[in-house]
Structure 1
Amino acid sequence: MDPLLIGLAIAVATVLVLFSGVSVAIGLLLVATLFLLIFDGPRSLEALPELFYAELNSFALLSIPMFIIMGSAIASTRAGPDLYEALERWLTRVPGGLVVSNLGACGLFAAMSGSSPATCAAIGKMGIPEMRRRGYPAEVAAGSIAAGGTLGILIPPSVTMIVYGIATETSIGRLFLAGVMPGVLLVVLFIAWAIFDTWRRGAAATALSGVRYTWRQKIEILPRVVPFLLIIVGVLVALYGGIATPSETAAVGALLCIVAAMVIYRMVSHRELWLVLKDSTRESVMILFIIGAAGVFSFMLSSLLVTQSVAQWIAALDVNRWVLMAIINLFLLVAGFFLPPVAVILMSAPILLPIITSAGFDPYWFAVILTINMEIGLITPPVGLNLYVINGIAPDITLRQILVGSLPFVGCMILAIVILCAFPGIATWLPTAVMGVAL
């Protein structure tokens, strides 16, 4: 049977299985097992346990639970509300300052936690009620937090980038650096839209009518958030400076975040510490289970020659490389509507990487493009995880209002992709400057 037809059947079966409500990892294992059994026979199943174990037998994977513990320790404290309050005190006189404060807090908290849902929850619990109290429309309050939360998977340290690096065997440190400038670009675009939208709505007076803060009030809150920011900076310096591996820096960062949470926020009870470790373990196991299942799924695609045939078919299209990139972006965008970022990366990156490199695109630049597409998926139905997180925080705001408020920021993300396509150096300059030219 033609491998392309087998690939089409696999795609249809995968969509049907995942839409049935089965978890991503179980769904991938079921599809892989079924097609190997049909086309390669029962003996092909003997290698599956070993393949699953081999996919997880990597020291680099240790960085995933460590960074998750690091983010969970921060998210379990008042670091998010304090960060929001600090920015609100410093930016209260800026037009649209409250929205800008929320977006800035989302960007910084995303860098600390690396988690989009945690960012939405931490900043949204305080930011949304305050914005509504100041007269901002419900959709603006909810949409800005939902969009700001997506920055968690781009701004380093990012679990999504770690998964991409493992799936494509690329440098995690270089991937982190590649996400810095695009992350700043997105924050700037989000803030620019917030200020313009405030002016467009004639809400500048509302934005400037807040409480005035003294210099003492502005400075007194900084000691509660600066230590966490210093930990993040220290982790990144150790990683990029070649002092330690990603796994080692993640472990030290996790320990320091737990210590900071215990010292600054008095998180000393066994119950609080156990909750951090329990939540981190649950999320880590979910991601690692998907990674192992995706390894088996990739083996099945390769064994049935689907991966090779798809790559050859795309290469034979003989289209302009930017048309090819537009097609890939459309595919990633649609996939992100239905699947979580980790699943999309593990399923698509091994197939797409040879294609984009043969077309002359930088794999680290492509990682940023892929991640921004995944960010869009976090605030668009039907999955739209951040939409549901915000709805849980503010149940009186409908999903439709949250979506309407998020759509302008989707436009900002699409604009960011266009800018990165026009100026790829935004993503590639910093990794090259710090770590040299990739081999």
Structure 2
Amino acid sequence: MDPLLLGGIVAIATILVLFSGVSVAIGLLIVSAGFLIIFDGPRSLELMPEIFFGKLDNFALLSIPMFIIMGASIASTRAGADLYEALERWLTKVPGGLVVSNLGACALFAAMSGSSPATCAAIGKMGIPEMRKRGYPDGVAAGSIAAGGTLGILIPPSVTMIVYGIATETSIGRLFLAGVIPGLLLVGLFMAWSLYSTWKSGDATRLGSGSYTWAERFEILPRVLPFLAIILGVLYAMYGGVATPSETAAVGALLCLLIAMVIYKLWHPRAIWHVLRDSTKESVMILFIIAAAGVFSYMLSSLFITQSIAEWIGTLDVNRWVLMGAVNIFLLIAGFFLPPVAVILMAAPILLPIITTAGFDPIWFAVVLTINMEIGLISPPVGLNLYVINGIAPDISLKTILTGSLPFVACMVIAIILLCLFPGLATWLPDAVMGAAV
């Protein structure tokens, strides 16, 4: 059978299996085993355990559970509420400062926790009621938190970037740096739209919840700055040549856990157990998907699907930007239905040879891919962040939350266009800090 036709059949079969309700990892293993048996015979299954566990034999994978523990330690405390309150106290006199402080809190908490749902829950529980009380439109209040929560998969340290780096054998350090400027760009676009929206509705002069003395502003900083110092310390250790990403992640996880215990009195064994239990569950889920995706990639390669697609793309007389547009549409659709980690692990083996053949930088592409995944987090039908916000504020309809999120989707599309026009937004910082890629 023609490998391209076979690739189409595999794609359809994968979609049907995943839509059946089975977990992503199990679905990938079912599809892989089925096609290997049909085309290579039952003996091909003997290699599956070796490939499955071999995919996990990677030292860089240690950073995933460590960063997850780091985020879970922060998410289990009042750090999100304190971060929000600190920014609100400092920006209370800025016109429209409340929505700006919410987006700033989302960006910082997302960077600390690496979890979009945790960011929405932590910042939204305080930010949404306060914005509504101050007269901000429900769409702006809900949409800004939903969009701000997505920043965790782009701003370092990002588990999604780690997964991409492992799947494509790309430098994780470069990927982290590549997400910094685009992440700040997105924050700026989100803030600009929010301020314009509140100004247009006549609410731009609305302030925070009250006046604060300088003593009150400085009083809250000791509860927030230690976590920010850890994030900066982790990044410095990675790029200062002090330690590897896995080593810095382990130290960061330990320090975040200790600070949570010291500052927020997280002493009870049950509370610590919940942090470790939840971190283990999420880590196992991600690692299971990584291992299953390794088997799936082997199946695609064994049946010459990946190679044939790359060759076919190479023979097409199509402008490379038209090709990139098609790739973005594919990623958007995939992101509507699947979590970012699953999309990256499934699509990377197919897309990487395509984008490199077309002359695109894989580091730059990682940022574009990640922003596409961010759009999926606030778009139906799956749109996890939309449902998290609806759970926090059930009196705000899902339609209102979605309508409020759409302008932020437009901001993300603008960011992708800017990255296409100015790829240096993603590549300059990695090259400046770590030297030009060979």
Classify the TM-score, shorter chain. over 0.9
Whether 1:106 and 2:109 are equivalent positions in the alignment is no
Return 5+ residue gaps in structure 1 as ranges.
none
Return 5+ residue gaps in structure 2 as ranges.
none
Aligned to 2:233: 234
SS of the equivalent of 2:211 reads coil
Q: How does 1:46-61 map to 2 (within 5 A)?
A: 46-61=46-61
Aligned length: 438
| Deviation for aligned residue 1:212 | 1.4
| Deviation for aligned residue 1:95 | 2.1
Distance in 2, matches of 1:140 and 1:188, equals: 15
Kindly indicate whether the alpha-carbon contact (under 8 Å) linking 2:109 and 2:119 is maintained by their aligned counterparts in 1. yes
Aligned to 1:306: 305
Q: How does 1:210-221 map to 2 (within 5 A)?
A: 210-221=209-220
Whether 1:44 and 2:9 are equivalent positions in the alignment is no
Aligned to 1:339: 338
| Deviation for aligned residue 1:111 | 1.0
Distance in 1, matches of 2:102 and 2:207, equals: 15
Distance in 2, matches of 1:165 and 1:438, equals: 15
Distance in 1, matches of 2:202 and 2:135, equals: 12
Aligned to 1:134: 134
Distance in 2, matches of 1:209 and 1:408, equals: 23
Aligned to 2:431: 432
Aligned to 1:245: 244
Q: How does 1:121-160 map to 2 (within 5 A)?
A: 121-160=121-160
| Deviation for aligned residue 1:209 | 6.7
Which is further off, 85-94 or 249-258?
A: 85-94
Distance in 2, matches of 1:42 and 1:258, equals: 48
| Deviation for aligned residue 1:137 | 2.0
Whether 1:366 and 2:369 are equivalent positions in the alignment is no
Distance in 1, matches of 2:204 and 2:364, equals: 38
Structure 1 residue runs of 4 or more that deviate by more than 6 Å after TM superposition: none
Aligned to 2:283: 284
Distance in 1, matches of 2:286 and 2:208, equals: 45
Distance in 2, matches of 1:208 and 1:256, equals: 36
Distance in 2, matches of 1:109 and 1:316, equals: 46
For residues 158-203 of structure 1, what are the alpha-carbon distances to aligned partners after superposition, in whole Å with 9 as ceiling and x for unaligned?
0000000000001001100000000000000000111111111111
Which is further off, 105-114 or 314-323?
A: 314-323
Q: Which amino acid aligns with 1:70?
A: M
Whether 1:163 and 2:163 are equivalent positions in the alignment is yes
SS of the equivalent of 1:204 reads coil
Aligned to 1:34: 34
Question: What RMSD over aligned residues (CA atoms) do the two structures have, in Å?
Answer: 0.9
Kindly indicate whether the alpha-carbon contact (under 8 Å) linking 1:14 and 1:31 is maintained by their aligned counterparts in 2. yes
Distance in 2, matches of 1:222 and 1:209, equals: 18
Aligned to 2:269: 270
Normalised to the residue count of structure 1, the TM-score between the two structures is 0.99
Kindly indicate whether the alpha-carbon contact (under 8 Å) linking 1:120 and 1:389 is maintained by their aligned counterparts in 2. yes
Distance in 2, matches of 1:290 and 1:209, equals: 43
Distance in 2, matches of 1:364 and 1:234, equals: 23
For residues 70-118 of structure 1, what are the alpha-carbon distances to aligned partners after superposition, in whole Å with 9 as ceiling and x for unaligned?
0000000000010000111111122221111110000001111111111
Which is further off, 189-198 or 128-137?
A: 128-137
Q: Which amino acid aligns with 1:122?
A: A
For residues 217-245 of structure 1, what are the alpha-carbon distances to aligned partners after superposition, in whole Å with 9 as ceiling and x for unaligned?
11111110000000000000001111111
Q: Which amino acid aligns with 2:236?
A: V
Q: Which amino acid aligns with 2:262?
A: V
Aligned to 1:412: 411
Distance in 2, matches of 1:240 and 1:204, equals: 40
Distance in 2, matches of 1:329 and 1:97, equals: 34
| Deviation for aligned residue 1:317 | 1.4
Q: How does 1:3-14 map to 2 (within 5 A)?
A: 3-14=3-14
| Deviation for aligned residue 1:5 | 1.0
| Deviation for aligned residue 1:17 | 0.8
Q: Which amino acid aligns with 1:200?
A: K
Kindly indicate whether the alpha-carbon contact (under 8 Å) linking 1:55 and 1:292 is maintained by their aligned counterparts in 2. yes
Which is further off, 250-259 or 342-351?
A: 342-351
| Deviation for aligned residue 1:28 | 0.5
Kindly indicate whether the alpha-carbon contact (under 8 Å) linking 1:338 and 1:382 is maintained by their aligned counterparts in 2. yes
| Deviation for aligned residue 1:393 | 1.4
| Deviation for aligned residue 1:311 | 1.1
Normalised to the residue count of structure 2, the TM-score between the two structures is 0.99
| Deviation for aligned residue 1:204 | 2.1
Aligned to 1:329: 328
| Deviation for aligned residue 1:210 | 3.9
Q: Which amino acid aligns with 1:335?
A: A
Aligned to 2:22: 22
| Deviation for aligned residue 1:385 | 0.9
SS of the equivalent of 1:337 reads helix
SS of the equivalent of 1:28 reads helix
Identity of aligned residues (%): 77
Aligned to 2:224: 225
Q: Which amino acid aligns with 1:60?
A: A
Distance in 1, matches of 2:377 and 2:107, equals: 15
